[in-house]
Copies of this chain bind each other. A is one copy, B any other.
Amino acid sequence: MSLDRQPTTTARRRVTRQDVARLAGVSVPVVTYALNGGPKNVSPATRDKVLAAVDQLGYRPNAAARALRRGRSELLGIIVPNLANPLFAALAHEVEVAAGSRGVTLIVLSASPGEVAAGLERLAARQVDGVLVATPVRSGDIAAIEVTGLPTVLINQPGAIEGIPAIGVDQYGGARLAVDHLVAQGHRDIAYLGPASGDQRRHEGWRDAMGAAGLAPVRVVETPFTREGGYLAGRTVLASTPRPSAVFASSDQIALGALRAFHEAAIDVPGDIAVASFDDSPDAAYAWPPLSSVSQPIGRMAREAVGRLLDGVPADGTPFQQFPVELVVRRSSVREP
């Protein structure tokens, strides 16, 4: 392979408004008026000449130039912890489709919880019209959001933070739904698998559902929201004595990892251990056994988020727009779903 390099395609000079004006026999401002519909009117005959020249030359308005003129880039940004996580892939997909239906293009940035401020700075430099933040924000990020001055909506987070509006679900209530369901199946010893430190509404929902049923919320296996973490948590569950009869995994990814640990140990799900989880990501229905999981209306939330960023938030200022969750019961938690 040679070290000489050349561009993939022959560079061709971009067709400009000047070229269109020359071919149409009009001035450059007239081309602009004809294409933008103002500020001055042009006659239908002149407009036709301009459009014919546009067609003939293959002129394409420059989005960067248009962004400067209009003060809008028609770009939105989304910051996710990891696009390879199926929940965030599904969310980004829905946001991209919702944005595309309004002629707006999506920039995707991966940023861990410590990297949100840097991601916001990068998106601000792109003059995006707004940012959706799905990575959990920390207090320092709030200052970054304020400094950029960008319309920002938090998504997949427990609620609004310091006035930054948020779209999400009732994570606490969803967790209670799942644990209440396991209790109703007769389980008394239900372990929690997931993050448990700090502001973890799913953990609180498990704890209070246990308390409301007169059960001691003592079994906590801390793990991040990953399959790998869920696998290790599942092994920890199996090593505990007595073994719990059910687990509430605070995300599908954790549940998938735990299922693998249970399968490897020839533990029957739900016969030996019942499993319920949270997110109802595309994985849940195709896990084995299929996962009972708390469903988030990702598509509706994505459309609402795009609308908020492009149109502004309701003036009555409800900072947290909460969407309903429902528990989708599948085979992982009941013998006959």
Binding site for B on A (CB under 8 A): 1-2, 4-12, 58, 60-65, 67-68, 73, 75, 82-86, 89-90, 92-93, 96-97, 100, 105-110, 121-122, 124-127, 130, 146-147, 149-153, 165, 227, 256-257, 259-260, 263, 282-283, 286-290, 308-309, 311-316, 318
Contacts and interface: CB of A to CB of B under 8 A. Distances in A.
B108 A100 contact: no
Nearest to A253: B286
A9 B9 CA distance: 43
A1 B322 CA distance: 13
Number of copies of this kind of chain in the complex: 2
Given A84-B86, A108-B96, A9 B260 contact: no
A110 B93 contact: yes
Contact of A149 (B9, B68, B290): B9
Given A150-B9, A288-B263, A90 B97 contact: no
Nearest to A68: B64
A249 to B, nearest CB: 13
The A interface, classified by DSSP as helix, strand, loop or mixed, is: mixed
Contact of A6 (B62, B63, B85, B315): B315
Nearest to A130: B8
Contacts of A125: 60-63
A107 B107 contact: yes
Nearest to A165: B8
Most buried by B among A124, A283, A308: A283
Contact of A313 (B5, B152, B308, B309): B5
Nearest to A74: B126
A177 B290 CA distance: 31
A268 to B, nearest CB: 12
A5 B311 contact: yes
Most buried by B among A6, A8, A282: A8
Contact of A257 (B82, B286, B312): B286
Contact of A67 (B64, B165, B260): B64
B83 A309 contact: no
A125 B85 CA distance: 30
Given A6-B315, A9-B152, A83-B93, 15 more contacts: A1-B314, A4-B316, A10-B149, A60-B121, A60-B124, A86-B86, A93-B110, A96-B108, A96-B110, A106-B109, A107-B107, A227-B282, A260-B290, A263-B289, A287-B288
